[in-house]
Amino acid sequence: MKWQGRRGSRNIEDRRSMGAGKAGGIGGVGLVAVLVIGYFLGIDVTPLLNDPALTGGRSGGGELTEADRQAGEFVSVTLADTEEIWAELFRIQVGQPYDAPVLVLFKGATQSACGGASAATGPFYCPGDKKVYLDTDFFATLSRQLGAKGDFAAAYVVAHEVAHGVQDELGILGQANRVRQQSTEADSNAISVRIELQADCYSGIWARHAETKFGTIEQGDLAEAMNAAKQIGDDTLQRNAGQRVSPHTFTHGTSEQRQRWFATGYNSGQMTACDTFGTKRL
């Protein structure tokens, strides 16, 4: 992906230097183990990250490394691309202006209107404050622990979370979440899968228009995104965590579904093709 030296977004809230403290407690290697276990098993370990006894009082922040700075620039450029593309798509396909979300960069842990944010929760969009939350250390987890390597795999993650903001703008996310609140756990999970697969489809739309509008997609980039969609499918994550595959617990969709809906968005370029709520076949 050609991103170096390109325009970045102004909708970045960088909290990575806030709340600096001395590392302690379980230490770097132990902390990574906790994060990976939490991610694989679907357990929010944010309380552990906020426990001074385990983290030595460190809730995030610290001096930014060169890798941190590059990751921040990469996210900023990717976010700028999503802003330009979705503004155009809203004008042409929706007929209304697009209000882009702010993206919060943090290290370790921070707070959102939706509760605690940490490396363990993974990147997410919070409708409460209309912000995307991202610890760029997740990119290392994505590459090393989850097997989804490459800068376009990371771009897919950013595009996916921005896509939840798109859903929020269209009123889809709010309606779906209201129904989830009144549903059984199994039905709520099923609705969550449809939300996530639509975000994958919207990510594919973004990839298609980024390719045609900016010419930044290089050979192998789409394969990186498709591999990322595969590696973070619910069935693959459960298998890799040594668990039995339990479809009723899925919240994001299988690897095959996530790949197929990303490809649907990429091949069509049309938001109407991403109606995961109106189809019987996910």
pLDDT of residue 36: 44
Provide the angle, in degrees to the nearest 10, between the axes of the packed helices 255-268 and 185-214.
Answer: 40
CA–CA distance, 140 with 148 (Å, rounded to integer): 9
pLDDT of residue 26: 35
CB atoms within 10 A of CB 8: 17
- Average predicted confidence (pLDDT) for the chain: 85
DSSP 274: G
Tokens of residue 152, six digits:
């376009």
Tokens of residue 148, six digits:
């989804």
pLDDT at 38 over 90: no
Of 22 and 254, the one with more pLDDT = 254
If phi > 0 it is left, if psi is from -120 to 50 it is alpha, else beta; for residue 109 that is beta
| Centroid of chain to Cα 115 | 16
Report domain extents, the chain.
Answer: 12-271
For 242-255, what is the mean pLDDT?
A: 94
CA–CA distance, 163 with 258 (Å, rounded to integer): 14
Pairing mode, strands 109-112 and 131-134: unpaired
